[in-house]
Structure 1
Amino acid sequence: MFRELFSNPARRDAVIATGMAIALYALFLYLDAYDRFAAFMKGHESWELDEIILAIFLSGLSGFVYAWRRLLDLKREAKRRSEAEGEALWFAYHDPLTRLPNRHYVDGRMNGRNKNATSPVSVFAIDLDGFKKVNDLVGHHGGDALLTTVAERLRQLFPEDTVIRMGGDEFCVLSQTPADAAEEMAERMVDLLSRPVIIGGIQVEVGTSVGIGHNHDRKERLQTVMEQADLAMYAAKRRGRNGVCVFEASMREILTERVRLETELREAVRAGVIRPHYQPLIHLDGGKIHGFEALARWTDKSGNAVSPAVFIEIAEEAGLITDLSGQLLRQACLDALSWPSETRLAFNISPAQLTDRLLGLRIIQILGETGFPPRRLEIEITETAVVRELATATQTIEELKRIGIHIVLDDFGTGYSSLSQLSNMSFDEIKIDRSFMNSLGEEDSKQTKIVRAIVGLSQGLGITTTAEGIEQLSQLERIKELGCNLGQGYLFGKAMPANHVAGFLAGRNAQEADVRLGR
């Protein structure tokens, strides 16, 4: 008891002061101090001791008032300091923009309080698809407004659960949603977060990838379940926009390799080591070179060639595709300046780029920087991407055609575009997907009928047709009979580095000269 009483300095001082006051009172009472003092003052009236004592008393009273006011100031200062410390602590564990708990909240509090979850917990890891493009379109203030809207929607969907902003465009929800209802909840989340938002009079929208981790046996650490949800989220992103995926053990190995490739890809983009190679496009009537299609090629640190189907997908998911595409187009334009003036450059646009409303301006800017003539550039857009991003695709196509760039509908026949979309978007060329070449056969075969219909449609609309994947003479003869204009494939030449193009052009021109001279 006495230890607790004297542990507080203020309480200890109060006890000591009270004890001293009681001791002095007892002493003065024993010595009859007041009567003696009164007699002394009466005997020395000329000393004016009563006035001196009054002055001392008033001074003491003033000191007491000062001390009381100072005590009030100290209490106010302590309160302000406590509030400031509380606010600093709040900001340490919360995101000031969205007012949600942040990553430090998870690391410093949730793990400390719930090292082992005692009740079923579903963790949702959320990543916004296409957020960087929104930032480019409406600026960082607009991006902040979108993040705030996303936070509000998540709070509405999970009013009783913990919603966390992990950083950037990533969020996390620690939920009591049962495992058997988690996927349905994730689908509702995707639908809610993907709805358009009006920012500064501009309608913007983002996709959402959601990964789900579960604490099935009630013994998993919260951090482990969150890592599982992250792995599932990356798997969902690989499946495409607005994907939902539940964690599986096999995802760890896949993600490890994916992270390695993404790290190397970031370094490669930063160093500019991914280069365009060029595959020839040939006029089927006469064999003259129409142009070259630029195709990205990358060799990783171990010396292995990485398939474009792999690293382009990673670039899209990691938000690197805009920088990578810009680098490749800029280099391709510079390389193509050395080609004959009538030789075209064909360049592919990633489906992910078609959600970027600034895409047309980016391409026009690169043409201005390099001095490459717009009339010599062909931009290839896949049919599937056009259908999925119809409004943005229409805007981009109009911007590019306005300055003379040719627009090519790539991989035609594999998507779901309608005839009205084809006519409204004014394509200059259609590329028949290589899958039709692989099975191009007899006159009455299904593939032959489809190709004939595509060529007939193109001729009716006044559009050039190009056949991809021509590898055999029989395919070449068949596609020429069907009326196709241009061809591309290993039969004419594989993709080659820029320093081989001049030799290819010279050899091709020599062949054409021999044909004209009858050699």
Structure 2
Amino acid sequence: MLPTSRKHFRGKILIGFSLFILLYILSSTFDGREHLFAFFAKYEQYNADELFIALIVTGFVGLFYSLIQIKKMSKEIARRIEAEKNLLWISQHDPLTELPNRKQLENFISCGESCNDQTNYAVFRIVINRYKDINDLLGSDHRTEILRLIAKRLLYMFPNNVYKLAGDELLALKPNIDNTDLAQLAERVIRKICSPIHINAITFNIGTNIGFARFPEDGADLRRVIQYSDYALSFAKKSGRDQAKAYTPLMQAEFLAKAQREHDFKKALANKEFVTYYQPLVDLKTERTIGFEALARWEITPGNFIPPDQFVALAEETGNITELTEQLLRLACRDALEWPSHITLSFNISPIQMSDKQLATRIMSILAEVGFPAERLEIEITETALLRDINVARLTLRKLKDEGINIALDDFGTGYSSLSQLCNFPFDKLKIDKSFIDTFQLNGKQEKAILAVLSLASALDVKVVAEGIEHVSQLIRLQELGCDIGQGYLLGKPMPQANLKKTVPWAIQDIFNLDPEKAQ
């Protein structure tokens, strides 16, 4: 549709032309020329004819000027129309790959609905793996080049039906009237996208995952089917790199359940429903409790708990892990203020948080707020936490150590331990994972491994904690091997703060005096 200004000028021209025709007809009908000359002769003394000529000349000059202005305005309108077209194109396309974007996809869906388009479609939701690595390793210019190449590869397989949804997500539509084997097609797409890319003598391998669904077989609403393909994509990601999954109704049920869990989690977080239980840490030489590890608990109904690994994962996925950690640390520090002054508090930090440059500042702020001494706090991290961003992790741990906080390396032996990590990070304790303690008495190699850890820790002046002690025989043998600290159900199960006051587990010589045979 033409702009209003252009229609306005056309209207003026039409009115002027119509007025000219009307005057011509009136002049012919009523002998306008004779009446005009008679009028000039009658008023000759006033120079009426000269005045009329001046008016005519002025009119022609004005008309000529108007035509020039109209021509200029027409050019400006044409430029404006072109700019509007470009703006419309930009609003409906991704500027990097020049692929249609989500808005264009929405227009396509809406048109299909209004036109009663009954074409069968296969919907492929595609995510590019290692998208951040592309930018980190090659820079933004090369990232753009790679994205454009991926777009070309997809357009080769899905001509005019590829959409850019987000930084690393694309969507392809395939008319599926021929009932193509979509699983095989998805595998071909993966091979096509994942073909090595060579840039500046560097070979870069792209990874991808694909989720696909069918319209109308999986749903009568194309929007819903696109959502189903997203469900399938999430399952493909869980299956590993370069995997594709077809949508099944069970996926929707699981996603609805997950959405409900996320809702319940956020509600519980807002209401501060998460609490801490405490499990004793026992000095195996003095046979006395020296600290407690804080363990998060979420009780949804009396006696019914959500496992920590589930709600911690929810916290990480929803971006609420920092808020959850701060709530629990603040609560644990307040509880620990009621313990004897020599009893320490051990607290776990999520691996994701080790990438947070402000982590040390957050922890110290909570300690200052509660008034809990830094030297009574011990932070536990896993080996995988160090691998996310080793430089940030080293800086964070050094800041905490400088403030007097102790650092423990949790689950030692199950990850990617190395001597360089033990030497370059300020660890005070190593916690041997429960999987070693469970069977070390039946496996000579595992016992030798524990001995090696104890010897290494002694050389580095680091204490060793044995997790998962459940039998007296394990306890006695660990004492014989020279293990420093023990933890496990035998020495005390996790319990709320109120139970700590009742049981007073500061001295537990009764456990050590049990008959090993009877205690099994």
Name the aligned partner's letter for residue 404 of structure 1.
Answer: G
Q: How many residues align?
A: 476
Aligned to 1:438: 438
Aligned to 2:188: 181
For the residues of structure 2 that align with 1:305 and 1:269, how far apart are their CA atoms?
Answer: 15
Aligned to 1:405: 405
Residue 206 of structure 2 is aligned to residue 213 of structure 1: no
**SS in structure 2 opposite 1:326?**
helix
String of CA shifts for 1:21-43, please: whole Å, max 9, x gaps: 56754665576543564355346
Aligned to 2:305: 305
**Contact persistence 1:123–1:225 (CA under 8 A):** no
Greater CA drift, 491-500 or 379-388: 379-388
**Contact persistence 2:93–2:101 (CA under 8 A):** yes
**Contact persistence 1:190–1:209 (CA under 8 A):** no
Name the aligned partner's letter for residue 226 of structure 2.
Answer: M
Name the aligned partner's letter for residue 108 of structure 2.
Answer: R
Name the aligned partner's letter for residue 486 of structure 1.
Answer: I
Aligned to 1:157: 150
Q: TM-score, normalised by structure 1?
A: 0.75
For the residues of structure 2 that align with 1:243 and 1:326, how far apart are their CA atoms?
Answer: 37
Name the aligned partner's letter for residue 485 of structure 2.
Answer: L
Check 1:121–1:371 CA distance in 2 against 1; reply closer, same or farther (3 A cut): same
String of CA shifts for 1:155-199, please: whole Å, max 9, x gaps: 342236445244xx773343779412233466679999xx9xxxx
Check 1:86–1:20 CA distance in 2 against 1; reply closer, same or farther (3 A cut): closer
Aligned to 1:386: 386
**SS in structure 2 opposite 1:339?**
coil
String of CA shifts for 1:329-377, please: whole Å, max 9, x gaps: 2222232222222211111122222333433333333333333222222
Aligned to 2:506: 508
How many percent of aligned residue pairs carry the same amino acid? 36
For the residues of structure 1 that align with 2:37 and 2:22, how far apart are their CA atoms?
Answer: 21
Query: Which aligned pairs between 1:26-425 and structure 2 lie closer than 5 A?
Result: 28=27, 33-35=32-34, 37-38=36-37, 41-42=40-41, 44-61=43-60, 63-65=62-64, 67-68=66-67, 71=70, 75=74, 78=77, 82=81, 86=85, 89=88, 93=92, 102-109=101-108, 112=111, 122-125=124-127, 153-159=146-152, 161=155, 162-166=162-166, 171-174=169-172, 178-184=185-191, 211-214=209-212, 223-235=223-235, 246-249=245-248, 250-300=250-300, 304-387=304-387, 389-425=389-425
Name the aligned partner's letter for residue 342 of structure 1.
Answer: H
For the residues of structure 2 that align with 1:234 and 1:415, how far apart are their CA atoms?
Answer: 26
For the residues of structure 2 that align with 1:367 and 1:189, how far apart are their CA atoms?
Answer: 51
Check 1:328–1:69 CA distance in 2 against 1; reply closer, same or farther (3 A cut): farther
* TM-fit CA distance, 1:454: 2.5
Q: TM-score, normalised by structure 2?
A: 0.75
Greater CA drift, 183-192 or 484-493: 183-192
Name the aligned partner's letter for residue 158 of structure 1.
Answer: A
**SS in structure 2 opposite 1:300?**
strand
String of CA shifts for 1:355-414, please: whole Å, max 9, x gaps: 334333333333333332222221111123335654443333333223222221111121
For the residues of structure 2 that align with 1:338 and 1:402, how far apart are their CA atoms?
Answer: 25
Query: Which aligned pairs between 1:458-477 and structure 2 lie closer than 5 A?
Result: 458-477=457-476
* TM-fit CA distance, 1:457: 2.7
Tell me how large the CA RMSD over aligned residues is.
4.5
Greater CA drift, 323-332 or 280-289: 323-332
**Contact persistence 1:100–1:164 (CA under 8 A):** yes
Check 1:15–1:56 CA distance in 2 against 1; reply closer, same or farther (3 A cut): closer
For the residues of structure 2 that align with 1:500 and 1:366, how far apart are their CA atoms?
Answer: 25
Structure 2, unmatched stretches of 5+, are 1-6, 156-161, 175-183, 514-520
Structure 1, unmatched stretches of 5+, are 1-7, 132-141, 196-207
**SS in structure 2 opposite 1:172?**
strand
**Contact persistence 1:121–1:175 (CA under 8 A):** yes
For the residues of structure 2 that align with 1:263 and 1:190, how far apart are their CA atoms?
Answer: 42
Check 1:231–1:262 CA distance in 2 against 1; reply closer, same or farther (3 A cut): same
* TM-fit CA distance, 1:227: 1.8
Check 1:393–1:18 CA distance in 2 against 1; reply closer, same or farther (3 A cut): closer
Name the aligned partner's letter for residue 107 of structure 2.
Answer: G
Check 1:24–1:360 CA distance in 2 against 1; reply closer, same or farther (3 A cut): closer
For the residues of structure 2 that align with 1:182 and 1:495, how far apart are their CA atoms?
Answer: 50
Check 1:435–1:245 CA distance in 2 against 1; reply closer, same or farther (3 A cut): farther
For the residues of structure 2 that align with 1:496 and 1:255, how far apart are their CA atoms?
Answer: 33
**Contact persistence 2:465–2:485 (CA under 8 A):** yes
* TM-fit CA distance, 1:50: 0.4
For the residues of structure 1 that align with 2:98 and 2:495, how far apart are their CA atoms?
Answer: 53
Aligned to 1:202: none
